[in-house]
Amino acid sequence: MVRMPARETASGLRAVARCDDLGVTPYSDADDHLFRPYLGAGHAATLDRIAAWMTEAGMTARVDAAGNIVGRYEGRHPDAPALLIGSHVDSVRDGGRYDGMLGVMLGIETVAWFAERGHRFPFAIEVIGFGDEEGSRFPVSMLTSRAVAGVLGDQDLALADAAGVGLAEALDGFGLELARFADAARHREDVLAYVEAHIEQGPVLEAEGHALGVVSAIAAQYRFRAVVTGVAGHAGTMAMRLRHDALAAAAEMVLAVERIGGAGPEDLVATVGRMEVGPGVPNVVPGAVTFSIDVRAGVGAVRDRAADEIRVALEDIAVRRAVGLDLTLQQDLPATPCDSGLSRLMAEAVRDVTGAEPRVLVSGAGHDAMVMAHLAPVAMLFLRCRGGISHHPAEAVEVDDVQAALEAMTAFVTRFEHTWSDAGTVLTEEER
Ligand code: GLV
Ligand code: MN
Ligand code: MN
């Protein structure tokens, strides 16, 4: 773990040290592990700290209507449209310190690097730390980038967390209002592009000896909620042959999800990551089980086919075991190609730094970039992480890799500036 004084010049070391600082209470809602859900106390403390770092780097900082932290480094002229650099500040339960946060810290370092040199651009740069990418609190993910991209659905505003706290109440506790949530939306003409640096969260870069990679596309995702309804009863008196055990049925369903996920191409994955058992006591046959299903693939049609197979398999199990099954689609994120023109700039920036041809890869993990693509062209830079481990406290990065990422980000912004045209478009359609 890296610890260092806050006041240093822009560096990868400082980005890593700041992620480490934010990995414990009061920036986590748990005392013994990192858990920073959207709109929690850890989230609030984190935003205060990030706002101070943004200000120190030469930005004005604000929290938008959805709870995102936004730092703005003005261009040569006020009101210029902005290049957005961002990622997320929330974490999964018992998560790592760099998932999301490192991209936000690299955004701040990138601005600090130019500010230290007194360089202003013909556009503004904004660094954005999204409040909810993981969906750790409410049943869907990427609520806050969807607010910024202006693609919220009506049902998103009616969400409640596992403790029954509604989005309105959670926002109120954060000094925000549900009625204004959608005001976080940005106008297309104000946003030139969105760029995100993120740890790979997989093993490819490390295995192939690359510090950095360029993302060509982000895999399609579905999130479902399955509710299995059986019959609860006395665990001592209800004969086995008479049971409609919701948990035994759900267990069989989990194995079906695993089997179908494993039967396709390597990038097809299917996961049951959460389960609640009712009434959940040792001496009662389970009467109801709710569980999540996450299905992803690089190609939307592959994901869709697997989801259809899962539905059929689960319905068969429900019929055979005489239990009820209610399957609800909670989230559909289509596969998202990154912008080819911006990705070319990012590849050139990586080449500037490493001298090697960049590794180009598809992201199986979801990112705010897939939502921001509705608003503006997007590009992503990946950094190697140790063992490909992520969503786990053992998540780790090398400072040298983060320094290389900072240099690639500054090279990208420099190249972006050169590509900028007075007409206000970064790249023409033909260039994309
Ligand atoms: C977020 O990290 C996701 O890929 O679910
Ligand atoms: Mn994550
Ligand atoms: Mn992430």
* Helix 12-21 × helix 101-116 angle, to 10°: 140
Q: pLDDT tens digits for 338-349?
A: 999 999 999 999
Last residue of a domain, one of 315, 333, 351: 333
**Per-residue model confidence (pLDDT) at position 6:** 54
Q: Is residue 80 part of a domain?
A: yes
Looking at the fold, whether 72 and 214 belong to one and the same domain comes out as: yes
Do 77 and 98 belong to one domain? yes
Is 79 exposed, middle or buried (CB count within 10 Å of its CB: 0-12, 13-18, 19+)? exposed
| Same domain as 213, residue 226 | no
Best residue for ligand 1 mutational test, from 137, 142, 367 (most atoms within 8 Å of Cβ): 367
- Provide mean pLDDT across the span 126-139: 96
Same domain, 178 and 239: no
Q: What is the CATH number for 23?
A: 3.40.630.10
pLDDT at 423: 45
Residue 283: CA atoms inside 13 Å, Cβ hemisphere, count? 3
Q: Is 393 helix (H, G, I), strand (E, B) or coil?
A: coil
Give the range of the structural domain holding residue 275, as residue numbers without chain letter. 220-333
pLDDT at res. 108: 98
| Range 107-127 average pLDDT | 98
Question: Picking from 220-224, 234-238, 424-428, which range would have the lowest pLDDT averaged per residue?
Answer: 424-428
Closest CA to 336 of 194, 201, 210, 202: 194
Whether residue 422 has pLDDT greater than 50: no
Which of 5-9, 84-88, 411-415 has the lowest average pLDDT? 5-9
Note the pLDDT of residue 194.
Answer: 98
Count of structural domains within the chain: 2
Distance, CA 91 to ligand 2 centroid (Å)?
Answer: 6
Q: Stretch 152-173: mean pLDDT, rounded?
A: 94
Mutate to test the pocket of ligand 1, among 87, 91, 94, 134 (most ligand atoms within 8 A of CB): 134
Place of tokens 């609640």: 276
Dist. CA 198–CA 405, nearest whole Å: 9
Per-residue pLDDT, averaged over 259-272, amounts to: 95
Closest ligand to residue 196's CA:
3
CB 394 within 8 A of CB 387: yes
Evaluate whether residue 429 is within a structural domain: no
Which residues neighbour 384 within 8 Å (Cβ) at sequence distance 6 or greater?
Answer: 199, 200, 205, 206, 210, 211, 212, 213, 397, 398, 401
Give the global pTM. Answer: 0.89
Residues 365 and 262 in one domain: no
Please check whether residue 100 is in contact with residue 142, taking contact to mean a CB–CB distance below 8 angstroms.
Answer: no
Distance in angstroms (rounded) separating the CA atoms of residues 313 and 319: 10
Please tell me the least confidently modeled range out of 44-48, 250-254, 274-278, 423-427.
423-427
Q: Find the helix or strand (DSSP H, E) in which 245 lies.
A: none
Mean pLDDT across the stretch 200-221? 97
Q: Residue 154 has what pLDDT?
A: 86
189: left (phi over 0), alpha (psi -120 to 50) or beta: alpha
Token pair 């560096």 is at which residue? 11
From CA 228, how far away is CA 225, in angstroms rounded? 10
The answer as to whether 427 is a domain residue is no
pLDDT at 93: 97
From its phi and psi, is residue 201 left (phi > 0), alpha (psi between -120 and 50) or beta? left
Is there a single domain that holds both residue 137 and residue 240?
A: no
CA of 93 from ligand 1 middle (Å) equals 12
Q: Which residue has the tokens 């693509």?
A: 373
368: tokens are: 């705010």
Per-residue DSSP letters for 352-368?
A: HHHSSPPEEEEE-S--H
DSSP 416: H
Please give the average per-residue pLDDT across 77-95, as a whole number: 97
- Tell me the average pLDDT across 300-313: 98
Q: Which of the four pLDDT bands, split at 50, 70 and 90, describes residue 428?
A: very low
- Residues 296, 211, single domain; the answer is no
Q: What is the pLDDT of residue 7?
A: 61
Same domain, 20 and 97: yes
Going by C-alpha positions, the residue among 191, 194, 128 that lies closest to residue 413 is 194
Give me the CATH number covering residue 322: 3.30.70.360
pLDDT band per the 50, 70, 90 thresholds, residue 429: very low
Q: Are residues 235 and 172 in the same domain?
A: no
Distance from C-alpha of 27 to C-alpha of 40, rounded to nearest angstrom:
9
Q: In this model, does residue 431 exceed pLDDT 50?
A: no
Verify that 404 and 347 share a domain, yes or no: yes
Considering Cα of 356, then 359, then 360, then 364, what sign does the dihedral take?
Answer: negative
Q: Is residue 356 part of a domain?
A: yes
Q: CA dist 370 to 34, 88, 107, 149, 395, Å?
A: 25, 13, 18, 10, 23
Instruction: Tell me, in angstroms, the distance from the centre of ligand 3 to residue 41's CA.
Output: 20
pLDDT of 420: 77
**Domain for residue 287, yes or no?**
yes
What's the 304 CA to ligand 2 centre distance in angstroms? Answer: 22
Do 185 and 119 belong to one domain? yes
Tell me the CB-side half-sphere exposure of residue 106, using CA atoms within 13 A: 35
Q: Which of 302, 333, 364 is the last residue of a domain?
A: 333
Give the whole-number percent of the chain exceeding pLDDT 70: 96
**Residue 194 sits in the same domain as residue 226:** no
- Residues of the chain with pLDDT > 90: what percent? 93
The model's pLDDT over 177-197, given as tens digits with 9 standing for 90+, comes to 999 999 999 999 999 999 999
Q: Is 431 inside a domain boundary?
A: no
Do residues 106 and 406 make contact, with C-beta atoms less than 8 angstroms apart?
yes
3-state secondary structure of 333: strand
Instruction: Output the pLDDT for position 5.
Output: 56
pLDDT of residue 426: 47
The rounded mean pLDDT for the chain is: 95
282, exposed or middle or buried, with CB in 10 Å at 0-12, 13-18, 19+? Answer: exposed
pLDDT reading at 126 higher than 90: yes
- End-to-end CA gap in the chain: 41
Q: Which residue ranges are tagged as binding site?
A: 88, 99, 134, 198, 223, 283, 296, 391
Mean pLDDT of 271-284: 97
Q: Is residue 2 part of a domain?
A: no
- Report the DSSP beta bridge partners of residue 72: 60, 126
Domain finish residue from 333, 368, 386:
333
Structure confidence by residue, pLDDT tens digits, 355-404: 999 999 999 999 999 999 999 999 999 999 999 999 999 999 999 999 99
Q: Rounded mean pLDDT of 256-273?
A: 96
